[in-house]
Structure 1
């Protein structure tokens, strides 16, 4: 006798249960399973220093698990490498006055607006590249990544990137090695931090550079990268989905006017440095940074670096 549709589904479900597998359309308690893996990962990490414990929140562990398809062993290895990197690179100790010279042209900055989900937005202008220092470029970007994370709204783990190609050329482009090292740090030490990366109206010559760089980009990251062109209908709809046109700068097809003011940006970053110091608990005195400088000293030093030489 022919089986009914319901009987077919029931038999299929039993078959997968016997095989220890679950059909894709069968529901499961994802939350409970993920919570278990978070606990397993935390146990695998063992005792942590105060600073590492501050970093390894449950949300952090979830991001590393997500980056490794919820494989605890792989996520553990990845997170251990990050903790080693953070112990030597010390990204939370970088202060604006140490990297302000890298930001003089506004090649990377935090936007004064958020995307539609309230996420922090970083704006990149590779055409305004002003140094060839590998370490300087990386420290500057890492500083802004840490700052963007610090300014994410509660419950939000990701940020958006907007990349403006005005003025870009192979002469202003960062070397392949710098791009490779930056991609490695972002993918391995800031997993699941990117919601979307908009490459806005890149010139054709960029394709040659991208063909080389894309081999360093993993699948998960690559899926978040969007080539956006102002005359393309799908591109326009994509920008509308993620950004409010009233806030979006005209360089990205919006209605707002954007002008980078290095001195003003330096003031904002200096204020955030005090917040960073307080968050990480470096100094019992909230008016001092990790190097013992007072707030007034940091402001003065930053502004002296931000002001053009006479």
Structure 2
């Protein structure tokens, strides 16, 4: 940290007592003090461009949200039905150690509801619990292959998730890969752009599985950071295309996306193991 950044961190640390829940002591205060770690404070400072007052306001808003929403205490039985088809689940790690969360809209099994959103938050919290020391971000792989417009999340659901991610989990997204995005996704993406932080937008990459077959890792490395026309499905856009294999080792990637893992989803054993490994409620 620079001298100014370290000073900002110390100022935010000094503000912790006034950020805590009004109740004196107890389990709630202990949980909030544990959450307000040095790493957490730094994430909020980076997200708020090192403005102490802005970061403090963001922390206060998130703490208030956490007291009501209780994201780390969502009962597994409350959201269990949302996970039965394997539409959203964490599995494996990318090449820099980030937990991978797979999202597969074609396996949607419920109607839009608050429980759907709580399930995504539940899975995000499980992924955070899977992180090794030094890792702070997750990777999203959103597989649109075979998904219809009816099965895909709508604008309202996407906006709600983006709000939670940007306001209450700042600096937690490493990269997001949209696999075989259909034409209607690009329309939705354009509608979401005004609500998306520019930093978050830069973390979104697109994957065309047919194109990936002919893309070597060396070619992918040389084009990293460049943009290419996103195809006739999305005229006028310049979206960054990449190969998942450049970011995720084949032994950690589903075979349908070019990896080496055969991933049949058996919800019962998977759910039990997930809760055991992440200490979920």
TM (norm. structure 2) is 0.82
Q: CA deviation at 1:52?
A: 1.2
Does structure 1 conserve the Cα–Cα contact (< 8 Å) formed by 2:205 and 2:241?
no
**Which 5+ residue runs of structure 1 have no aligned equivalent?**
1-29, 277-288, 290-310
Q: Distance in 1 between matches of 2:195 and 2:241?
A: 28
Match of 2:273 among 261, 268, 271: 268
TM (norm. structure 1) is 0.75
Q: CA deviation at 1:251?
A: 2.5
Q: Distance in 2 between matches of 1:175 and 1:120?
A: 25
Q: Distance in 2 between matches of 1:58 and 1:191?
A: 14
Q: Which residue of 2 aligns with 1:35?
A: 6
Greater CA drift, 261-270 or 121-130 = 261-270
Q: Distance in 1 between matches of 2:243 and 2:203?
A: 12
Does structure 1 conserve the Cα–Cα contact (< 8 Å) formed by 2:206 and 2:242?
no
Q: CA deviation at 1:50?
A: 1.8
Q: Which has the larger radius of gyration?
A: 1
Q: CA deviation at 1:253?
A: 2.1
Q: CA deviation at 1:215?
A: 2.2
Q: Distance in 2 between matches of 1:202 and 1:262?
A: 26
Q: Distance in 2 between matches of 1:104 and 1:214?
A: 31
Does structure 2 conserve the Cα–Cα contact (< 8 Å) formed by 1:164 and 1:251?
no
Q: Distance in 2 between matches of 1:134 and 1:118?
A: 32
Q: Distance in 2 between matches of 1:118 and 1:63?
A: 18
Q: How many residues align?
A: 246
Listed one character per residue, the Cα deviations across residues 51-80 of structure 1 (whole Å, up to 9, x for unaligned) are 211110000000011111111111111111
Q: Does the C-alpha gap of structure 1 residues 211 and 268 become closer, same or farther in structure 2, counting only changes over 3 Å? A: same
Q: Distance in 1 between matches of 2:134 and 2:16?
A: 24
Listed one character per residue, the Cα deviations across residues 201-242 of structure 1 (whole Å, up to 9, x for unaligned) are 112232122221222211111110101112153488642332
